[in-house]
Amino acid sequence: MDKKRVKDYMTYDVVTVDAQGIVREVFEKIRKTNHDGFPVVDNGEVVGYIAARDLLFAHPSTQVREVMSSHLIVADPDMSINDAARVIFRSGIQKLPVVDEKNHLVGIVSNSDVIRSQIEHVSPEKVFNFITTLKKLYGIEPTLRRGSVPIEGLLPTQSKIYEDELEGRMYEIRKGLAEPLIVVSRPGKNILVDGHHRAIAAKRLGLSALDAYIIEFTEDIELGMERTARSMHLETLDDIQVLDYARHPLVALTHRLVKRV
């Protein structure tokens, strides 16, 4: 069962607009907050949503109720974050107001919240596909179990992680929402296959172990990923380089493209 819920990722401190207010006030809130839209409330109840595009050609003294979108899609706090993702991406909206049973606003969940919830998502297919690869490459019959693995002693196979994603993984660990690691356990070695951000996040939080899918085999075979780790001089988690967001290759590419334009 998917344990990730909207309430675990939504923003609780939400800036709202009163339905009786006027467009000039919305312009002012956009200027102060840099937000591009706000839920519209009337006596605490959500009655609509107003985005910057709704203000085009509207007179500053026009009442918010007259230009807001009243065809509102909302989410429940206990709704699966995956279900919220489907609604957001299929409807083309960027934010879902989150309401209680009385339609009172309790938060807002955005497409960026959804993306954050899905980074490093581990699926059973991912695990079994990796097991199939091991069988084909090395002719072994690994076994799979779910359990706790010590963080110290894990052999990393990824040389770099990113600070912004690391902060998200720390948040998930605190909330009890972290996905399991994928670890290969062979005689004398625990090899971290997937979950480097989670492992470093747990280490920063002072944890000694994490939940994992543990793929075990008894043959003393050195895997190709071990040789790759050795070539990158990776022996412990401390050897992983943590990059800040500005150095993320996609961001760097975007900056270069902007400069060319």
79-136 pLDDT per residue, tens = 988 888 888 887 878 888 999 998 999 999 988 778 767 665 666 788 988 999 999 9
Residue pLDDT, tens place only, 159-214 = 988 887 888 889 889 888 888 999 999 988 999 999 999 999 999 999 999 999 99
Q: 119-250 has which fold?
A: 3.90.1530
How far is the C-alpha of 196 from the C-alpha of 7, rounded, in Å? Answer: 26
Domain ranges of the chain: 6-117, 119-250
DSSP string for residues in 8-44: HHSBSS---EETTSBHHHHHHHHHHH--SEEEEEETT
Question: Residues 6 or more apart from 72 whose CB is under 8 A from it?
Answer: 46, 47, 48, 49, 97
The structure tokens 């399991």 sit at 180
pLDDT at 118: 66
Question: Residues 6 or more apart from 26 whose CB is under 8 A from it?
Answer: 17, 38, 50, 55, 64
How far is the C-alpha of 151 from the C-alpha of 140, rounded, in Å? Answer: 26
CATH 3.40.50.1820 fits 6-117, yes or no: no
The pTM score is 0.59
Are 6-117 and 119-250 equal in CATH topology?
no
